[in-house]
Amino acid sequence: MPPFPTQRLGALLLVAAMALTLAATSEAATLRRGRERIVYGPGGYGRRLNVKSERTDDVQSGRTGDGQSGRAGDVQSGRGEVQKGRGDDVQNVRAGVKKGRASLQKERTDVQRERNDVQKARVGVQKARVGVQRGRTDVQRGRAGLERSRGGVQRGRTGVQKGRADVQKKRTGVQRERASVQNVRAGVKNVRGDVQSKRTDVQQSGRADVQDRTGVVVAFETPEQEQFQYGRPGEAVFGAFR
Protein backbone atom coordinates (compact mmCIF):
# COMPACT_ATOMS: atom_id res chain seq x y z
CA MET A 1 0.00 0.00 0.00
CA PRO A 2 1.49 3.46 -0.92
CA PRO A 3 2.45 5.75 1.97
CA PHE A 4 -0.15 8.09 3.35
CA PRO A 5 -0.53 11.28 1.17
CA THR A 6 0.21 13.55 4.14
CA GLN A 7 3.62 11.96 4.52
CA ARG A 8 4.32 12.46 0.83
CA LEU A 9 3.24 16.07 1.11
CA GLY A 10 5.55 16.60 4.08
CA ALA A 11 8.43 15.05 2.18
CA LEU A 12 7.77 17.28 -0.83
CA LEU A 13 7.58 20.36 1.38
CA LEU A 14 10.86 19.37 3.04
CA VAL A 15 12.51 18.99 -0.37
CA ALA A 16 11.15 22.39 -1.44
CA ALA A 17 12.45 24.00 1.75
CA MET A 18 15.86 22.49 1.20
CA ALA A 19 15.85 23.78 -2.38
CA LEU A 20 14.89 27.26 -1.19
CA THR A 21 17.61 27.11 1.45
CA LEU A 22 20.18 26.16 -1.16
CA ALA A 23 18.93 28.94 -3.45
CA ALA A 24 19.12 31.48 -0.64
CA THR A 25 22.61 30.32 0.25
CA SER A 26 23.78 30.68 -3.34
CA GLU A 27 22.06 34.06 -3.52
CA ALA A 28 23.85 35.26 -0.38
CA ALA A 29 27.16 34.14 -1.83
CA THR A 30 26.37 36.00 -5.03
CA LEU A 31 25.45 39.13 -3.05
CA ARG A 32 28.65 38.90 -1.10
CA ARG A 33 30.64 38.55 -4.25
CA GLY A 34 28.65 41.39 -5.80
CA ARG A 35 29.34 43.64 -2.82
CA GLU A 36 33.00 42.87 -3.09
CA ARG A 37 32.86 43.78 -6.72
CA ILE A 38 30.87 46.84 -5.80
CA VAL A 39 33.43 47.94 -3.22
CA TYR A 40 36.64 46.99 -4.88
CA GLY A 41 35.87 46.68 -8.52
CA PRO A 42 35.54 49.41 -11.11
CA GLY A 43 32.13 50.36 -12.43
CA GLY A 44 30.48 49.45 -9.23
CA TYR A 45 27.22 51.20 -9.97
CA GLY A 46 26.53 49.21 -13.00
CA ARG A 47 27.53 46.10 -11.22
CA ARG A 48 25.28 47.06 -8.35
CA LEU A 49 22.40 47.24 -10.73
CA ASN A 50 23.37 43.89 -12.10
CA VAL A 51 23.57 42.45 -8.61
CA LYS A 52 20.20 43.93 -7.72
CA SER A 53 18.63 42.61 -10.85
CA GLU A 54 20.16 39.19 -10.28
CA ARG A 55 18.92 39.22 -6.73
CA THR A 56 15.42 40.21 -7.76
CA ASP A 57 15.25 37.79 -10.63
CA ASP A 58 16.63 34.87 -8.68
CA VAL A 59 14.47 35.48 -5.63
CA GLN A 60 11.30 36.07 -7.61
CA SER A 61 11.90 33.18 -9.92
CA GLY A 62 12.74 30.92 -7.01
CA ARG A 63 9.70 31.98 -5.02
CA THR A 64 7.29 32.14 -7.87
CA GLY A 65 8.51 29.31 -10.04
CA ASP A 66 9.79 26.70 -7.71
CA GLY A 67 7.73 27.62 -4.67
CA GLN A 68 4.43 28.13 -6.38
CA SER A 69 4.82 25.32 -8.83
CA GLY A 70 6.13 22.93 -6.22
CA ARG A 71 3.63 24.01 -3.63
CA ALA A 72 0.62 24.13 -5.92
CA GLY A 73 1.48 20.98 -7.84
CA ASP A 74 2.53 18.98 -4.85
CA VAL A 75 -0.30 20.25 -2.71
CA GLN A 76 -2.88 19.57 -5.38
CA SER A 77 -1.43 16.19 -6.21
CA GLY A 78 -1.15 15.44 -2.50
CA ARG A 79 -4.74 16.48 -1.96
CA GLY A 80 -5.77 14.34 -4.91
CA GLU A 81 -3.86 11.42 -3.48
CA VAL A 82 -5.46 12.06 -0.11
CA GLN A 83 -8.92 12.19 -1.65
CA LYS A 84 -8.22 9.16 -3.76
CA GLY A 85 -6.75 7.31 -0.79
CA ARG A 86 -9.65 8.30 1.39
CA GLY A 87 -12.15 7.28 -1.28
CA ASP A 88 -10.41 3.98 -1.93
CA ASP A 89 -9.99 3.28 1.75
CA VAL A 90 -13.59 4.20 2.50
CA GLN A 91 -14.83 2.07 -0.37
CA ASN A 92 -12.60 -0.79 0.70
CA VAL A 93 -13.72 -0.41 4.29
CA ARG A 94 -17.36 -0.29 3.25
CA ALA A 95 -16.90 -3.31 1.00
CA GLY A 96 -15.10 -5.10 3.82
CA VAL A 97 -17.90 -4.19 6.22
CA LYS A 98 -20.48 -5.52 3.77
CA LYS A 99 -18.49 -8.70 3.28
CA GLY A 100 -18.04 -9.04 7.01
CA ARG A 101 -21.75 -8.55 7.60
CA ALA A 102 -22.58 -11.08 4.89
CA SER A 103 -20.09 -13.54 6.38
CA LEU A 104 -21.52 -12.92 9.85
CA GLN A 105 -25.05 -13.45 8.56
CA LYS A 106 -23.92 -16.62 6.81
CA GLU A 107 -22.26 -17.85 9.98
CA ARG A 108 -25.40 -17.06 11.97
CA THR A 109 -27.47 -18.96 9.40
CA ASP A 110 -25.05 -21.90 9.58
CA VAL A 111 -25.18 -21.82 13.36
CA GLN A 112 -28.98 -21.76 13.26
CA ARG A 113 -28.98 -24.69 10.84
CA GLU A 114 -26.59 -26.59 13.06
CA ARG A 115 -28.82 -25.88 16.04
CA ASN A 116 -31.84 -27.10 14.07
CA ASP A 117 -29.91 -30.21 13.07
CA VAL A 118 -28.92 -30.79 16.68
CA GLN A 119 -32.55 -30.34 17.74
CA LYS A 120 -33.68 -32.77 15.06
CA ALA A 121 -31.01 -35.22 16.14
CA ARG A 122 -32.17 -34.93 19.75
CA VAL A 123 -35.76 -35.50 18.68
CA GLY A 124 -34.62 -38.50 16.63
CA VAL A 125 -32.70 -39.87 19.60
CA GLN A 126 -35.76 -39.39 21.81
CA LYS A 127 -37.94 -41.17 19.26
CA ALA A 128 -35.38 -43.96 19.01
CA ARG A 129 -35.40 -44.31 22.79
CA VAL A 130 -39.20 -44.45 22.78
CA GLY A 131 -39.05 -47.05 20.01
CA VAL A 132 -36.51 -49.09 21.95
CA GLN A 133 -38.73 -48.90 25.03
CA ARG A 134 -41.72 -49.99 22.99
CA GLY A 135 -39.66 -52.80 21.50
CA ARG A 136 -38.63 -53.91 24.98
CA THR A 137 -42.26 -53.79 26.09
CA ASP A 138 -43.27 -55.82 23.05
CA VAL A 139 -40.50 -58.31 23.81
CA GLN A 140 -41.73 -58.58 27.39
CA ARG A 141 -45.27 -59.09 26.15
CA GLY A 142 -44.06 -61.65 23.64
CA ARG A 143 -42.16 -63.48 26.36
CA ALA A 144 -45.21 -63.40 28.62
CA GLY A 145 -47.35 -64.68 25.76
CA LEU A 146 -44.75 -67.34 25.04
CA GLU A 147 -44.79 -68.37 28.69
CA ARG A 148 -48.57 -68.51 28.61
CA SER A 149 -48.40 -70.50 25.39
CA ARG A 150 -45.90 -72.85 26.96
CA GLY A 151 -48.16 -73.19 29.97
CA GLY A 152 -51.08 -73.88 27.68
CA VAL A 153 -49.03 -76.39 25.74
CA GLN A 154 -47.98 -78.03 28.99
CA ARG A 155 -51.57 -78.13 30.19
CA GLY A 156 -52.57 -79.48 26.81
CA ARG A 157 -49.90 -82.15 27.03
CA THR A 158 -51.05 -82.99 30.55
CA GLY A 159 -54.61 -83.17 29.28
CA VAL A 160 -53.49 -85.38 26.43
CA GLN A 161 -51.68 -87.62 28.88
CA LYS A 162 -54.78 -87.75 31.07
CA GLY A 163 -56.91 -88.43 28.03
CA ARG A 164 -54.58 -91.19 26.94
CA ALA A 165 -54.68 -92.62 30.46
CA ASP A 166 -58.48 -92.44 30.43
CA VAL A 167 -58.54 -94.08 27.02
CA GLN A 168 -56.22 -96.76 28.30
CA LYS A 169 -58.45 -97.24 31.31
CA LYS A 170 -61.46 -97.41 29.08
CA ARG A 171 -59.69 -99.86 26.83
CA THR A 172 -58.78 -101.91 29.90
CA GLY A 173 -62.40 -101.73 31.05
CA VAL A 174 -63.59 -102.73 27.62
CA GLN A 175 -61.13 -105.62 27.63
CA ARG A 176 -62.39 -106.60 31.04
CA GLU A 177 -65.98 -106.28 29.89
CA ARG A 178 -65.17 -108.34 26.83
CA ALA A 179 -63.52 -110.93 29.03
CA SER A 180 -66.57 -110.88 31.31
CA VAL A 181 -68.82 -111.26 28.31
CA GLN A 182 -66.68 -114.12 27.11
CA ASN A 183 -66.89 -115.65 30.55
CA VAL A 184 -70.64 -115.12 30.62
CA ARG A 185 -70.95 -116.61 27.19
CA ALA A 186 -68.83 -119.55 28.27
CA GLY A 187 -70.99 -119.90 31.38
CA VAL A 188 -74.12 -119.72 29.30
CA LYS A 189 -72.70 -122.35 27.03
CA ASN A 190 -71.84 -124.44 30.04
CA VAL A 191 -75.32 -123.92 31.49
CA ARG A 192 -76.89 -124.77 28.19
CA GLY A 193 -74.76 -127.87 28.03
CA ASP A 194 -75.77 -128.78 31.56
CA VAL A 195 -79.45 -128.13 30.79
CA GLN A 196 -79.21 -130.17 27.67
CA SER A 197 -77.53 -132.99 29.49
CA LYS A 198 -80.10 -132.77 32.24
CA ARG A 199 -82.90 -132.80 29.71
CA THR A 200 -81.41 -135.80 28.08
CA ASP A 201 -81.00 -137.51 31.41
CA VAL A 202 -84.54 -136.64 32.49
CA GLN A 203 -86.01 -137.75 29.23
CA GLN A 204 -84.17 -140.98 29.33
CA SER A 205 -85.00 -141.61 32.98
CA GLY A 206 -88.66 -140.59 32.55
CA ARG A 207 -89.13 -142.66 29.50
CA ALA A 208 -87.52 -145.60 31.16
CA ASP A 209 -89.68 -145.14 34.21
CA VAL A 210 -92.91 -144.88 32.19
CA GLN A 211 -91.95 -147.80 30.14
CA ASP A 212 -91.31 -149.79 33.25
CA ARG A 213 -94.75 -149.00 34.68
CA THR A 214 -96.96 -149.08 31.63
CA GLY A 215 -94.90 -150.52 28.97
CA VAL A 216 -95.77 -147.52 26.80
CA VAL A 217 -93.31 -144.85 25.86
CA VAL A 218 -94.85 -141.41 26.51
CA ALA A 219 -93.34 -138.37 24.91
CA PHE A 220 -93.44 -135.15 26.89
CA GLU A 221 -92.67 -131.68 25.65
CA THR A 222 -90.54 -130.77 28.62
CA PRO A 223 -88.98 -132.65 31.52
CA GLU A 224 -90.98 -130.45 33.91
CA GLN A 225 -94.24 -131.70 32.44
CA GLU A 226 -92.98 -135.20 32.77
CA GLN A 227 -92.05 -134.68 36.41
CA PHE A 228 -95.35 -133.00 37.15
CA GLN A 229 -97.33 -135.65 35.41
CA TYR A 230 -95.62 -138.62 36.93
CA GLY A 231 -94.13 -137.35 40.07
CA ARG A 232 -93.81 -139.71 42.96
CA PRO A 233 -95.21 -139.10 46.42
CA GLY A 234 -92.78 -137.16 48.61
CA GLU A 235 -90.89 -135.52 45.64
CA ALA A 236 -90.99 -131.80 45.02
CA VAL A 237 -92.82 -130.89 41.87
CA PHE A 238 -92.75 -127.10 41.14
CA GLY A 239 -92.43 -126.26 44.81
CA ALA A 240 -95.27 -128.52 46.02
CA PHE A 241 -95.47 -131.96 47.49
CA ARG A 242 -97.84 -134.69 46.44
On whether the CB atoms of residues 64 and 54 are closer than 8 A, the answer is: no
Classify residue 36: in a domain, yes or no: yes
Q: Is residue 110 included in any domain, yes or no?
A: no
- pLDDT score of 74: 64
Would residue 41 count as lying in a domain? yes
User: Mean pLDDT: which of 43-47, 181-185, 191-195, 203-207 is highest?
Assistant: 181-185
pLDDT at position 9 is: 73
Half-sphere exposure of 139 (CA within 13 A, CB side): 6
Residue 15 forms part of a structural domain: yes
Q: With a threshold of 0.75, does the pTM exceed it?
A: no
Task: Report the percent of the chain where pLDDT is more than 90.
Answer: 26
Q: Is there a domain that residue 118 lies in? A: no
DSSP state of 3: P
- Decide which of 84, 104, 124 is a domain's last residue: 104
Conformational region of residue 169, where left means phi above 0, alpha means psi within -120 to 50, and beta covers everything else: alpha
Answer whether residue 184 shows pLDDT above 60: yes
Distance CA 230, CA 207 (A): 11
The answer to whether residue 23 sits within a structural domain is: yes
pLDDT at 138: 93
Instruction: List the single range of 44-48, 63-67, 148-152 with lowest mean pLDDT.
Output: 44-48
Question: Sorting pLDDT into bands at 50, 70 and 90, what band is 223?
Answer: low
61 pLDDT exceeds 60? no
The highest-confidence range among 114-123, 198-207, 218-227, by mean pLDDT, is 114-123
19 within domain boundaries: yes
State residue 222's pLDDT score: 60
Give the bridge partners for 237, in sequence order: 240
Please check whether residue 181 lies inside any domain of the structure. no
Mean pLDDT of 181-210: 80
Domain end position, chosen among 78, 104, 130: 104
Contact 46, 77 (CB under 8 A): no
Domain holding 230, by residue range, is 202-241
How many domains are there within the chain?
Answer: 2
Which of 53, 71, 104 corresponds to the end of one domain? 104
For residue 215, CA distances in Å to 40, 207, 209 come to 240, 10, 9
